[in-house]
Chains A and B, each alone.
Chain A
Amino acid sequence: MAFEGLSDRLQDIFKKLRGKGKIGEEDVKTAMREVRLALLEADVNFKVVKDFVERVRQRAVGQEVLQSLTPGQQIIKVVHDEMTALMGGSESKLNLAAKPPSIYMLVGLQGAGKTTTVAKLGRNLLKQGRRPVLVAGDIYRPAAIKQLQVLGEQVGIPVFSMGQSNPVDIARASLEYARSQNRDIVILDTAGRLHINEELMDELKQIKSAINPHEILLVVDAMTGQDAVNVAESFNRDLGLTGVILTKLDGDTRGGAALSVKAVTGCPIKYVGMGEKLDALETFFPDRMASRILGMGDILSLVEKAQANIDQEKAREMERKIRKQEFTLEDFLEQMQQVRSMGPLDELLGMIPGIGKQMKGFKGEFDEREILRIEAIIKSMTLQERRDTSIINGSRKKRIARGSGTKVQEVNRLLKQFEESRKLMKQFADLGGKKGKRGGMPPIRFPF
């Protein structure tokens, strides 16, 4: 998970502050020095760090913070506010043309992830009921056109291509195509290029003036170092960017580029790439990202994901079962499948406040294939066995293991895990019961 390292460092720094009843200017200064180092190590641009630290320091030594009852908390709030502001305040949506088609052009360095992002963005818009067309404008890299065609097929969106012709002509012709095919969004892929390559930058300018795109989006690799701002500045100067898409944010990069690019170019980050799968493109929410970086979790995103993926009725039924301890392996399987539909587990865990860091030991252990194995084991049981695990004896275990292609030990492990999670759920249920039903965010009512 991106930002992990950064958020660890910052949390440690703030933990020291939080414990203190009184905070002096000296404490703030020490903390800010550490914040500065943490940000620098996270590849946040040097100048951005300087400004950021100075702004936080000034606000932090102000009256409202130091004289409040919880100065430590207040400082974190200040950092959170400033970080949100740094990343652009609130989410920023794509511009739509008054008269379709809306034209989006993706630009960036080689290997930033433009082609993949074109397909992801297309899929995203398709899901919103739009009718996009993808345009293969990367005529230089071998098989780039083929790549987009394959991806287009995977997401079910037509791809417009004209082989190796002039990119400007391709761009122009694609508009005609979109109009004739009644497509309302054109997403143009371009070849990766260096920001210092004048010839190729000129080509982009020509494309821009030929088709007047409504969005020119810079695709930036989240792992980029201090150079990110130079790249962004150059592209912005030459083309006038309207936004940024940050890719590969699912890596373990500290993601400082995210914090810098907006600050330097003023262009908001509109989307982030969170995985190799074509549905792994998310809207970027600066405030939520700031929460995640500071280890405050991102409950909002989690709830949204849950709502989008989990059947409310089923969830209520599940909750009842947990409370009454009627929770069986069958339910376990079903629940697991639902949670899985929400996205990779470690990503979900990172969104839960306070969990992100504690779960660190498990990171990387969440093997999606492990879940498949568990599924196989449960499915190899009879209905009876699923409902009452106590009847599973040695010979049954052997049969289950054979049926699922696993070993008896693995069956044992699963049974043990299930027992434990049942216990855990009972605890949760008891807790929730005592406190009453006040949590207003179904279906997840676990009192974290």
Chain B
Amino acid sequence: MAFFDRFKFKKKDKENEEIPWEKEAEPGEESPEEEPRETLGAEENGSEEAASPSLAGENGHSSIFDRFKTKKENGRAEEKEQAQPADDVEAVEREEDAYEKEVNGKKTKWGFLDKLKKGLSKTRENTIGKIEALVKSSKKLDDDFWEELEEILIQADVGVNTTIELVDNIKKAAKKQKMHDSSEVLELIKDEIRKLLEYNNVPLNIPQGELAVILVVGVNGAGKTTSIAKLAYRFHEEGKKVLLGAADTFRAAAIDQLNIWADRVGVEIIKHQEGSDPGAVVFDAIHASRARHADILIIDTAGRLQNKANLMKEISKIKNIIQREIPEAPHEVLLVLDATTGQNAISQAKIFEEATGVTGLILSKLDGTAKGGIILAVEKELKIPVKLVGIGEGLEDLRDFSPQIFTEALFACNGGD
């Protein structure tokens, strides 16, 4: 099954690559840096605030999710949606800013981009700041320049292999276009990174009118429980009936932790005693979800290191139980990766994918890490889309991962803040 899932993704990605991205690239490339800056600038001035409610309408907060709905309704024609030109990105930003304001009411502290920018500011200072400094300082494209570029990327946790390939590609492209000045290379670097991230434009698979089961897996301390709370909040806000399954029966007080979150968010939870069989919890949770006509069931699992064979067998078993109850479930198997993790993230993704057929990643703790580089390595090696990013401690701090916004935010100029 896992193999097939993955194949599906690759196929989908290819389609994306061929059709929509080509189109999207044009307007995007003309003013890749200016778009987010413009939005940000407007927002800081306050003019955006006036504009956004009208854009978002009465229930502005549901607008991003409407996008999912339409996508789902369109079914296979989802490429069409994606084929919308890049100025759509700006609209999305505005929508999301509106979302932010609607939800928080008086707390209109951060727009989405602001938040992401804030979270990424360290990344930018350390990585991109360095890249820009490098590009500005050394004018010639000599070996020193390439070596230094490699160093910067490796220090950002991009990983040796990915770095070498990335730099090689840039080198070739620079040669082909007869570039001699290092400042021109900056654009090329962006392009290469964007290309790596293209696989990520896959939304969450939430079927309409039937129970959607989301299984959340990951190593210890990655942030599963917190991510689940945020995810539940998001669906709950959207008006969906959400149920949580507390299948982390191993860690002390993990059930209590999820229970507290469930209360805060205002969703129901299915739990057993600590130390009980997680499979039984899952079984009960599915039946309860059906009986209570829930839209979405999110299952928390115990953290496990991927090299523990027994524990990986256990998680496969949990997946099988879900599948036995609902053949097309789990609709999503989300692996939570801690953004501070180094190269081990690749091993995590690989082995969890083998055991559970991971359909997407949640990149947690992106507000703290100085480097986002690990995404590039994981994308290159495994092509599992990053679907969500955790960018703060608040319930609303779990966002869709948009490669476009991400790359732009990554490259936005430091002068902005």
Contact = CB atoms under 8 A, between A and B. Distances in A.
A368 B310 CA distance: 8
A227 B340 contact: yes
A283 to B, nearest CB: 21
Contact of B223 (A40, A42, A111, A228): A111
A46 B155 CA distance: 6
Contact of A41 (B159, B250, B368): B159
A251 B256 contact: no
Interface residues of A, number: 52
Chain A contact residues: helix, strand, loop or mixed: loop
A382 interface: no
Contacts of A143: 253-254, 256-257, 259-260
Nearest to A253: B344
Interface stretch (B13-21, B214-222, B316-324): B214-222
A419 interface: no
A195 B368 contact: yes
Given A142-B256, A364-B307, A110 B365 contact: yes
Interface stretch (B52-60, B204-212, B277-285, B369-377): B369-377
Contact of A225 (B122, B223, B305, B371): B371
A221 interface: yes
Nearest to A37: B160
Interface in A379-411: none
Contact of B342 (A147, A223, A252): A223
18 contacts: A1-B307, A40-B154, A41-B343, A46-B151, A110-B223, A110-B365, A111-B365, A113-B220, A144-B257, A146-B257, A223-B344, A225-B371, A226-B342, A248-B220, A254-B343, A254-B344, A256-B342, A367-B309
A384 B264 CA distance: 63
Contacts of B1: none
Given A224-B342, A252-B344, 20 more contacts: A41-B161, A41-B343, A109-B340, A143-B253, A143-B260, A148-B252, A194-B365, A223-B219, A223-B342, A225-B373, A225-B374, A227-B370, A248-B219, A248-B220, A253-B342, A253-B344, A257-B342, A276-B250, A364-B309, A365-B309
Contacts, number: 142
B341 interface: yes
B340 A252 contact: no
B338 interface: yes
Contacts of B159: 41
Contact residues on B (Cβ < 8 Å of other chain), bracket: 35 or more
In this complex, which of B223, B307, B347 has the most chain A Cβ atoms within 10 angstroms of its Cβ?
B307
Contacts of A435: none
Nearest to B152: A46
Given A110-B223, A111-B338, A225-B374, A146 B256 contact: yes
B140 interface: no
A276 B307 CA distance: 13
Contacts of B257: 141-144, 146-147
